[in-house]
């Protein structure tokens, strides 16, 4: 499931759009203010962001710059009633990938979202860590060049750690990103067991425990 950040202070739009996006299998994280969005960006890794520009406590332009400073590969689409050329230009200057003017049609926005996601997917390349390589496009983990079968849950954890390669992520961050086969968030104990299984499959050094902070997959290495 793709993690989508929707920053919008109009409840009507939030309701309609969240519903449409959930139907399309997006996990929608709604924020009504700029502050909420910036806080959430610290704990969730998004796949795409949809931003209103006029917010009660700030502007979507600033959120866009902030999100891009954390993750320059994050696709951002502005959704706004501001249709002046200068607004559009400011939006693209802030790093936006697309700009949709209200009122909008859900289907059109959805297809623009999918386009933006596709654009970023290209150029996705193999990530390596020690003897491991991870192909984000194919969703495959290799150990010494051999594909390692992982359960869906193990894969989500490994994939999240690779997305944050070289950075330590907390157990809470991981827990906020993973769910079991029936779509429920998993508990602490399940995470512990999964990490143990991942190490059995990928090697004891694959996932490093950072005491009191969380877990990390190291960058680079000598993968074949």
Strand partners, 132: 129, 143
Residue 97 sits in the site that holds Ca ion (CB under 5 A): no
> Of the two residues 9 and 62, which places its CB atom closer to Ca ion in the complex?
9
84 φ/ψ angles, rounded to the nearest 5 degrees: -70, 150
The stretch among 14-22, 54-62, 146-154, 162-170 that binds Ca ion (CB under 5 A) is 54-62
80 φ/ψ angles, rounded to the nearest 5 degrees: -155, 155
The stretch among 9-17, 59-67, 153-161, 190-198 that binds Ca ion (CB under 5 A) is 9-17
Query: From the CB of 148, what's the least distance to Ca ion, in Å?
Result: 46
Strands 48-51 and 2-7: parallel
Cβ–Cβ under 8 Å, residues 142 and 133: yes
Rounded CA-CA distance 223/86 in Å is 48
> Of the two residues 60 and 130, which places its CB atom closer to Ca ion in the complex?
60
Phi-psi region of 134 (alpha: psi -120 to 50; beta: other; left: phi over 0): beta
Rounded CA-CA distance 208/221 in Å is 14
Cβ–Cβ under 8 Å, residues 147 and 140: yes
Query: From the CB of 186, what's the least distance to Ca ion, in Å?
Result: 35
Taking CB under 5 A as the criterion, the residue among 9, 36, 180, 218 binding Ca ion is 9
Taking CB under 5 A as the criterion, the residue among 47, 52, 97, 98 binding Ca ion is 52
Residue 54 sits in the site that holds Ca ion (CB under 5 A): yes
The stretch among 46-54, 85-93, 145-153, 174-182 that binds Ca ion (CB under 5 A) is 46-54
> Of the two residues 54 and 220, which places its CB atom closer to Ca ion in the complex?
54
55, containing H or E segment: strand 54-55
Residues that bind Ca ion (rule: CB under 5 A) add up to a total of: 3
Query: From the CB of 113, what's the least distance to Ca ion, in Å?
Result: 19
The CB-nearest residue to Ca ion is: 54
Residue 36 sits in the site that holds Ca ion (CB under 5 A): no
Rounded CA-CA distance 129/205 in Å is 10
- 80 burial type by CB count under 10 A (0-12 exposed, 13-18 middle, 19+ buried): buried
Query: From the CB of 53, what's the least distance to Ca ion, in Å?
Result: 7
The stretch among 1-9, 98-106, 129-137, 145-153 that binds Ca ion (CB under 5 A) is 1-9
Contacting positions for Ca ion (CB under 5 A): 9, 52, 54
């Amino acid at each position: 499931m793709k993690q989508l950040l929707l920053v919008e202070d109009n409840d009507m739009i939030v309701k309609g759009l969240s519903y449409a996006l959930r139907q399309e299998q997006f996990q929608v994280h709604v924020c009504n203010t700029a502050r909420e969005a910036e806080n959430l960006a610290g704990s969730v890794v998004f796949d795409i962001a949809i931003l209103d520009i006029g917010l009660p406590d700030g502007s979507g332009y600033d959120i866009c710059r902030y999100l891009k400073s954390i993750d320059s590969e994050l696709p951002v689409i502005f959704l706004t009633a501001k249709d002046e050329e200068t607004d559009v230009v400011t939006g693209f200057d802030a790093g936006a990938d697309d700009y949709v003017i209200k009122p909008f049609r859900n289907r059109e926005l959805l297809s623009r979202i999918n386009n933006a996601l596709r654009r970023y997917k290209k150029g996705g390349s193999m990530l390596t860590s020690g003897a491991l390589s991870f192909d984000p496009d194919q969703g495959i983990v290799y150990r010494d060049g051999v594909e390692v079968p992982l359960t869906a849950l193990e894969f989500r954890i490994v994939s999240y750690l690779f997305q944050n390669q070289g950075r330590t992520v907390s157990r809470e961050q991981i827990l906020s990103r993973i769910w079991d086969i029936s779509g429920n968030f998993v508990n602490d104990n399940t995470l512990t067991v999964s990490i143990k299984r991942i190490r059995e499959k990928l090697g004891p050094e694959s996932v490093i425990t950072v005491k009191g902070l969380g877990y990390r997959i190291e960058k680079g290495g000598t993968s074949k």
